[in-house]
């Protein structure tokens, strides 16, 4: 697993870097994640960063089991 909290594994971590305190920026980032991220196989780390009007999304997944 990727990480543990209180003995329970996390299936994924989403880190938002909105670049602004406005809640509208955060809601727009969440909408962009929902629209483009699709189905991800856990465990994963997703980082979303907003620069100007563009939301950049990076996803890192664990290697597939062999």
Q: What is the DSSP string of the chain?
A: ---EETTEE-SEEEEEE-SSS-HHHHHHHHHHHHHH----PSSEEEEEEEETTEEEEEEEEPPPP-
Select the more confidently predicted residue: 38 or 32: 32
Longest dimension (CA), the chain: 44
Q: Is the pTM of this model over 0.75?
A: no
The per-residue pLDDT for 1 is 46
Report the distance separating Cα 58 and Cα 5, nearest Å: 23
pLDDT at 38 over 70: yes
Mean pLDDT of 32-50: 82
């Amino acid at each position: 697993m990727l990480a543990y909290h209180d003995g329970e594994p996390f299936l994924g971590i989403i880190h938002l870097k909105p670049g602004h305190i406005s809640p509208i920026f955060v809601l727009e980032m969440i909408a962009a994640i929902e629209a483009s991220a699709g189905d991800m196989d856990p465990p994963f780390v997703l980082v979303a960063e907003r620069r100007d009007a563009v939301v950049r999304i990076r996803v890192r997944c664990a290697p597939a089991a062999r």
